[in-house]
Chains A and B, each alone.
Chain A
């Protein structure tokens, strides 16, 4: 169905305004997102004190790691333990020291061969950049999710208003006016990266907005309006003997075959209500949201999430993070994600420059000829 000129003009205005309103935030999110592809590498690089630590296969038992932490930080709460991965050879743990505020946790490194505590890390640069990309440091994640949705609108309107896709793939007219040169670059970058842009916009919107939809759905589908408010108080926790973390991990792997835990989260450790949650990927599968909650006192699984068997939406949800961050295909894929990830950042800048230039030209043309002679010749940013 041919699109009328009037509709095209409307879509062009929508594309321009959506771009100019979201452009700066979009640029920051896309630029930081391209860098965050190398989060693990950056995290390791920004910790000179971890240089020379060995990679051991298999790594030291989790129980040893926990015991070392408890010996080094008596009275502290060990909240999570991150297992060694393809990039980082060491264990890491987040520890809340006794008397520290609830929000203050220290990241500690441990050797993977002996489980010995190395000490607090030098920095968390990779995570810092991820916080910029995902939360803009302070915000809830849905802000970036809404940006993903806005990016989908920009892509859809951009496709419709620039319909000569094959021609524009190879059109670059150097030596023409600033706006023509920039417009050619904008269109060709947009079209060359089109598939990738749709992928990261859709997955980014999903990752940011899914919790919002999930929470809303739970609220609407609850039996009574006050049901969620009247939650049962947690059972009284008494001191109890804990199962070994390694035994719990083995049980978790039996509950979800192929589970390759990246994190272990500990809650109410040392009490009868203690829980250990094993979260991570699945061997030979892309999904990254497998999770088993274990009762650490009895060793029984409390809750399992296997994206392979938990239904379609759970599987989709499990695929979003790897597809968005490209951490499933080695270094080559990361470089590809980095380069393609820079193109939406460039599109934000070029779109802004085109918009400012056309605005300036409109102003120039509306000025009287006498004023124009001394006026600015254009925005060659």
Chain B
């Protein structure tokens, strides 16, 4: 007989993160009901007003926070699924009350989906899983307590800096393409976005595992950005190209140092044997 899972607890941040997923269907259904019964005094929905968007976003965030605060673990998912199921049924009934077109097929579909969600809420539960076994019987040494006192912050690694470079390049490209949004710089900004996503970001990601591939990607990004700088005459692309080139060189340099250190380790036993002889 399997031992059922006991009620666990996760931090509030984790619960918020999960609630942001769990409340999406219910928040969308609240927006659906709002479209069927729009509040009076606001711009009509025929004009696709922005208040409809903000209502969905606010509903989603508020219900997520409330769910994360009030509900834990399984209850979070069960209540969210049941709420979505209930709202689906309510939306179907609202269509009937309002005499909407396609009211019967929509009612049948929405009620069926609501039943599926409610069934899912009933199905999931501690009975489906076994409690976690504690594998630890003292074999893992406890972590060392952090030493007190102020220390110099550690120099960020090449990879961290590369991610920053990818992010900053994407933000600057976005600014040029969509905020400044003046041709011909706009098109150059769009190319910058493509370079950031398809060359610099993979180069940052892969450098811990495949440094040579990452260096090639960084070199390609540098070449593309240099071409963009030449074409557009904008200094920002030249600076980005130089940084990408520096990233590629730093990756290769780190690999070279790593190899040199490995070869020193590999030759030491032999050296020891020679000196002993």
- Give the interface of A toward B (CB within 8 A): 7, 10, 14, 23-24, 27-28, 31-32, 35, 41, 44-48, 50-52, 104-108, 120-125, 127-129, 131-132, 137-138, 140, 142, 146, 149, 174-178, 181, 209, 212-213, 215-216, 218-220, 222, 225-226, 228-229, 348-349, 352-353, 356, 360-361, 364-369, 372, 376-381
Enumerate chain A residues within 8 angstroms of B5, measured Cβ to Cβ.
178, 377-378, 380
Q: Which residue of B lies closest to A53 (CB)?
A: B101
The complex places the Cα of A349 from the Cα of B194 at a distance, in Å, of 28
Q: Is B188 an interface residue (CB 8 A)?
A: yes
Q: A105-B47, A137-B53 are in contact. Are A48 and B101 (CB under 8 A)?
A: yes
In the complex the two chains form, is A24's CB within 8 Å of B20's CB?
Answer: yes
Give the shortest distance, in Å, between B226 (CB) and chain A (any CB): 13
Which one, A7, A174, A367, contacts B128 given CB within 8 A?
A174
B197-233 contacts to A, CB under 8 A, are: 197-198, 205, 208-209, 227, 231-233
17 residue pairs from A and B, CB less than 8 Å apart: A35-B28, A45-B101, A107-B46, A122-B46, A123-B35, A128-B48, A142-B193, A212-B193, A213-B194, A218-B187, A228-B183, A352-B17, A361-B132, A368-B142, A372-B136, A378-B5, A380-B8
Interface bin, chain B: 35 or more
Q: A123-B46, A125-B32 are in contact. Are A349 and B130 (CB under 8 A)?
A: no
Q: Is B129 an interface residue (CB 8 A)?
A: yes
Enumerate chain A residues within 8 angstroms of B138, measured Cβ to Cβ.
369
Q: Is B2 an interface residue (CB 8 A)?
A: yes
Enumerate chain B residues within 8 angstroms of A372, measured Cβ to Cβ.
134, 136
- Give the interface of B toward A (CB within 8 A): 2, 5-10, 14, 17-18, 20-21, 24-25, 28, 31-32, 35-36, 38, 44-48, 52-53, 56-57, 73-74, 76-77, 95, 98-103, 105-106, 126, 128-138, 140, 142-143, 178, 183-184, 186-188, 190-191, 193-194, 197-198, 205, 208-209, 227, 231-233
Which one, B21, B99, B197, B209, contacts A146 given CB within 8 A?
B197
Which one, B8, B183, B191, B208, contacts A376 given CB within 8 A?
B8
4 closest residue pairs by CB, A with B: A219-B187, A120-B46, A378-B132, A368-B142
Enumerate chain B residues within 8 angstroms of A356, measured Cβ to Cβ.
10, 14, 17-18
In the complex the two chains form, is A28's CB within 8 Å of B134's CB?
Answer: no
Enumerate chain B residues within 8 angstroms of A128, measured Cβ to Cβ.
31, 35, 48, 52-53
Enumerate chain A residues within 8 angstroms of B134, measured Cβ to Cβ.
364, 372
The complex places the Cα of A176 from the Cα of B128 at a distance, in Å, of 8
Enumerate chain A residues within 8 angstroms of B183, measured Cβ to Cβ.
228-229
Give the shortest distance, in Å, between B188 (CB) and chain A (any CB): 6
Enumerate chain B residues within 8 angstroms of A225, measured Cβ to Cβ.
184, 231-233
Enumerate chain A residues within 8 angstroms of B227, measured Cβ to Cβ.
220
The complex places the Cα of A378 from the Cα of B157 at a distance, in Å, of 32
In the complex the two chains form, is A47's CB within 8 Å of B100's CB?
Answer: yes
Enumerate chain A residues within 8 angstroms of B126, measured Cβ to Cβ.
380
In the complex the two chains form, is A28's CB within 8 Å of B24's CB?
Answer: yes
Which one, A209, A218, A352, A378, contacts B131 given CB within 8 A?
A378
Give the shortest distance, in Å, between B221 (CB) and chain A (any CB): 14
Enumerate chain A residues within 8 angstroms of B8, measured Cβ to Cβ.
376-380
Give the shortest distance, in Å, between A375 (CB) and chain B (any CB): 9
Give the shortest distance, in Å, between B95 (CB) and chain A (any CB): 6
Q: A31-B25, A372-B134, A381-B76 are in contact. Are A124 and B142 (CB under 8 A)?
A: no
Give the shortest distance, in Å, between B133 (CB) and chain A (any CB): 7
Give the shortest distance, in Å, between A206 (CB) and chain B (any CB): 14
Q: A105-B47, A123-B35, A366-B142 are in contact. Are A48 and B10 (CB under 8 A)?
A: no
Q: Which residue of A lies closest to B110 (CB)?
A: A45
Q: Which residue of A lies closest to B77 (CB)?
A: A381
Q: A14-B205, A45-B100 are in contact. Are A381 and B190 (CB under 8 A)?
A: no
Enumerate chain A residues within 8 angstroms of B45, measured Cβ to Cβ.
121-124
Give the shortest distance, in Å, between B83 (CB) and chain A (any CB): 15
In the complex the two chains form, is A215's CB within 8 Å of B129's CB?
Answer: no
Q: A128-B31, A377-B8 are in contact. Are A177 and B46 (CB under 8 A)?
A: no
Q: A212-B193, A376-B8, A380-B7 are in contact. List 4 more A-B contacts (CB 8 A).
A: A128-B48, A128-B52, A178-B130, A181-B128
Enumerate chain A residues within 8 angstroms of B2, measured Cβ to Cβ.
175-176
The complex places the Cα of A32 from the Cα of B106 at a distance, in Å, of 17
In the complex the two chains form, is B130's CB within 8 Å of A177's CB?
Answer: yes
> Which of B76, B132, B209, B233 is most buried by chain A, counting CB atoms within 10 A of its CB?
B132
Enumerate chain B residues within 8 angstroms of A45, measured Cβ to Cβ.
95, 100-103, 106
In the complex the two chains form, is B194's CB within 8 Å of A216's CB?
Answer: yes
In the complex the two chains form, is A178's CB within 8 Å of B129's CB?
Answer: yes
Which one, A27, A107, A364, contacts B136 given CB within 8 A?
A364
Enumerate chain A residues within 8 angstroms of B31, measured Cβ to Cβ.
128
In the complex the two chains form, is B140's CB within 8 Å of A365's CB?
Answer: yes
In the complex the two chains form, is B190's CB within 8 Å of A215's CB?
Answer: yes
> Which of A47, A366, A381 is most buried by chain B, counting CB atoms within 10 A of its CB?
A381
